[in-house]
Amino acid sequence: EPEVTQTPSHQVTQMGQEVILRCVPISNHLYFYWYRQILGQKVEFLVSFYNNEISEKSEIFDDQFSVERPDGSNFTLKIRSTKLEDSAMYFCASSEMAGAYGYTFGSGTRLTVV
């Protein structure tokens, strides 16, 4: 069964450092997403991406965050200057179509900012 693959599974970084989280969505999917889940809290939407541009973003997705699809397979989330409160699980997801269809989520990257 096709999977969304995320790397690394766990990343520890110093506060103020830049991090890049990587995702390989399912190959025929056209819509890509990032969500995050702070420990013990809800899964929260960050951003959606289609046709090489951001289609929606939440209030969480401020200027410290950016997304990119640098080639035909990878989808990345960059956090420019990490803060302690950025510590969370970050999930990438993809879907074949827009509208009310389920996504496929990756297994996540646990980001720990120290």
Partner 1 sequence: EDQVTQSPEALRLQEGESSSLNCSYTVSGLRGLFWYRQDPGKGPEFLFTLYSAGEEKEKERLKATLTKKESFLHITAPKPEDSATYLCAVQHTGNQFYFGTGTSLTVIP
Contact status, residue 33 vs residue 47, Cβ threshold 8 Å: yes
Sorted by sequence, the CB contacts under 8 Å of residue 61 that are 6+ apart come out as 46, 47
Q: Is 106 in the site for partner 1 (CB under 8 A)?
A: yes
Q: Minimum Å distance from CB 12 to partner 1? A: 16
Tell me whether residue 70 or residue 99 sits nearer to partner 1 (CB atom).
Answer: 99
Q: To which residue do tokens 């997304």 refer?
A: 67
Tell me whether residue 92 or residue 113 sits nearer to partner 1 (CB atom).
Answer: 92
Terminal alpha carbon distance of the chain: 36
Q: Minimum Å distance from CB 81 to partner 1? A: 25
Measured between alpha carbons, how far is residue 108 from residues 37, 52, 76, 88, 99 in Å? Answer: 10, 22, 13, 10, 23
Q: Is 84 in the site for partner 1 (CB under 8 A)?
A: no
Site for partner 1 (CB under 8 A): how many residues?
30
Q: Which residues contribute to the site for partner 1 (CB under 8 A)?
A: 4, 6, 31, 33, 35, 41-45, 48, 55-56, 58, 89, 91, 93, 95, 98-108, 110
